């Protein structure tokens, strides 16, 4: 059988910028499903080695303004009469990266389907326009097409089954290019879903220092105006905005720099139109030299530091809360002890008082019950003397003693009044019985009366 060229559609997304001139990307390459062209690639595990040292390619069209297109090449005939693929035309694919190590290729199960997945690298110096695009849409993914040379195949009904094939390369497709395989779409990991696993950090590298005099400066909103527009972006922080409010720079909760452009007359934000973008900070170190870092990376470092501080703060809050709870437990226990101490002291003082007075002068238990009830309601738990020492029991006993003494004195007064009243009555009787005579006769007359 003559060798046959075929291609398969997958997807690429950015993982990180390894260094200023090298981007690391993750590519979902092949699966074993039957595609809409009735092709099926089998024996995926046996072909992992064949992806090593294969190139990544991209085509530039429309004078280089459009990044990515189809498998652009032209078949030519050589001097020996054989056809070959020529990549010399202006819009032909060109190599921009490669899959370099066997450790970078493996099998992953995605939504129940096994895929060959590889980590690859793009040379940013030779593909500036491509890496700029990756910085913007790398997180959502870009379609790619895998070019293969079929060596062994068979037919299963109408399906061409490929059991042995050579991997020629992987072409990054452009927007609007119809994928060759139906159902080959791979779910693009969002930045939020992939942050823990991938830590996406994409920053465009400036090849040369920009001429500040040639840059177009756009006026931006002040802080008060930005605070007003912030309400429209509840899931992002507004970094800055153009003076007319049409262009807004944002920072997502996952520390990704984004942009939103309002359409003419638009007032409501359409979340799907918030797009990630690259932003850099340049530090001048000399007259013609500067060092550059991605704003995403800076934000990530700041957020990481903030997370550490937040974790420390939460830990301290938990310790403080535990200490406060413990203090409250001790205070409650101490108050309970003080209440019981007051009750015991009152009872002892009540019995002591009644033991030292006449039975009819003893205090009624209602006096004890009243002060005891006040003690149970906390009336004496916070009493302190001039030295700051607790004296609730002493104060309660003093009040009880005062009430008991008052009761005793009241009883004594009543007794004296009764005795005085009885003395007056006896004296009156004596006076009535007394006569006016003198001597024995007068005495006898008074007695007889």
In this predicted model, what pLDDT tens digit does every residue of 313-366 receive, in sequence order?
A: 888 999 998 999 999 999 899 999 999 999 998 889 888 888 888 888 788 888
Within 8 A by CB and 6+ apart from 376, the residues are: 339, 343
How many whole angstroms separate alpha carbon 131 and alpha carbon 134?
5
Question: pLDDT tier at 141 (50, 70, 90 boundaries)?
Answer: low
Q: What mean pLDDT is reported for the chain?
A: 77
For residue 185, the tally of other CB atoms under 10 A from its CB is 14
The average pLDDT across 72-89 equals: 87
pLDDT attached to residue 210: 43
Ranges 10-19, 189-198, 248-257, 438-447: which has the least confidence: 189-198
pLDDT attached to residue 197: 39
The average pLDDT across 267-285 equals: 78
pLDDT attached to residue 333: 92
pLDDT attached to residue 214: 40
Residue 42, phi then psi, degrees to nearest 5: -110, 175
pLDDT attached to residue 53: 92
Token pair for 301: 């470092």
Ranges 27-41, 347-361, 412-426: which has the least confidence: 412-426
Report CA-CA distances (Å) from 316 to 202, 323, 330. 35, 10, 21
Token pair for 199: 């830590």
pLDDT attached to residue 99: 92
Residue 11 has pLDDT above 90, yes or no: no
pTM of the predicted structure, to 2 decimals: 0.41
For residue 66, count CB atoms less than 10 angstroms from its CB and return exposed for 0-12, middle for 13-18, buried for 19 or more: middle
Residue 140 has pLDDT above 50, yes or no: yes
Residue extents of the structural domains in the chain: 4-198, 217-304, 323-421
pLDDT attached to residue 47: 92
3-state class (DSSP) for residue 224: helix
pLDDT attached to residue 199: 35
For residue 349, count CB atoms less than 10 angstroms from its CB and return exposed for 0-12, middle for 13-18, buried for 19 or more: buried
């Amino acid at each position: 059988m003559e060798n046959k060229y075929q291609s398969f559609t997958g997807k690429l997304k950015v993982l990180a910028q390894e260094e200023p001139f090298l981007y690391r990307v993750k590519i979902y390459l092949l699966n074993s499903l039957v595609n809409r062209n009735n092709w099926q690639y089998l024996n995926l595990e046996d072909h992992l080695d064949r992806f090593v040292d294969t190139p990544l390619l991209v085509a530039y069209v429309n004078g280089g303004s459009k990044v990515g297109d189809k498998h652009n090449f032209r078949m030519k005939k050589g001097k020996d009469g054989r056809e070959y693929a020529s990549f010399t035309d202006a819009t032909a694919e060109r190599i921009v990266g490669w899959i370099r190590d066997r450790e970078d290729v493996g099998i992953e199960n995605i939504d129940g389907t096994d895929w060959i997945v590889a980590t690859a690298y793009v040379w940013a110096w030779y593909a500036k326009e491509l890496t700029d695009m990756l910085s913007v849409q790398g997180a959502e993914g870009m379609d790619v097409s895998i070019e293969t040379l079929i060596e062994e195949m068979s037919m299963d009904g109408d399906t061409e089954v490929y059991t042995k094939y050579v991997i020629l390369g992987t072409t990054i497709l452009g927007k609007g290019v119809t994928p060759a395989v139906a159902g080959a779409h791979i779910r693009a990991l969002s930045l939020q879903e992939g942050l823990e696993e991938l830590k996406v950090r994409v920053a465009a590298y400036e090849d040369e220092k920009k001429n500040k005099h040639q840059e177009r400066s756009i006026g931006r909103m002040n802080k008060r105006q930005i605070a007003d527009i912030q309400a429209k972006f509840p899931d992002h922080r507004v970094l800055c905005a153009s003076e007319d409010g049409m262009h807004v720079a944002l920072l997502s909760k996952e520390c990704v720099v984004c942009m939103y452009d309002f359409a003419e007359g638009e007032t409501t934000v359409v979340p799907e139109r918030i797009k990630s973008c690259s932003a850099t900070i340049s530090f001048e170190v000399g007259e013609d030299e500067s060092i550059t870092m991605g704003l995403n990376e800076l934000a990530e470092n700041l957020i990481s530091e903030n997370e550490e501080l937040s974790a420390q703060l939460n830990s301290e809050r938990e310790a403080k809360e535990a200490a406060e709870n413990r203090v409250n437990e001790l205070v409650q226990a101490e108050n309970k002890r003080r209440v019981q101490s007051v009750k015991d002291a009152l009872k002892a003082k009540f019995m002591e008082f009644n033991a030292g007075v006449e039975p009819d002068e003893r205090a009624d238990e209602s006096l004890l019950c009243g002060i005891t009830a006040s003690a149970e309601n906390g009336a004496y738990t916070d009493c302190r003397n001039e030295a700051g020492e607790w004296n609730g029991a002493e104060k309660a006993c003093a009040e009880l003693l005062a009430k008991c003494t008052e009761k005793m004195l009241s009883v004594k007064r009543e007794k004296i009044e009764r005795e005085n009243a009885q003395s007056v009555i006896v004296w009156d009787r004596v006076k009535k019985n007394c006569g006016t005579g003198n001597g024995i006769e007068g005495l006898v007359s008074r007695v007889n009366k």
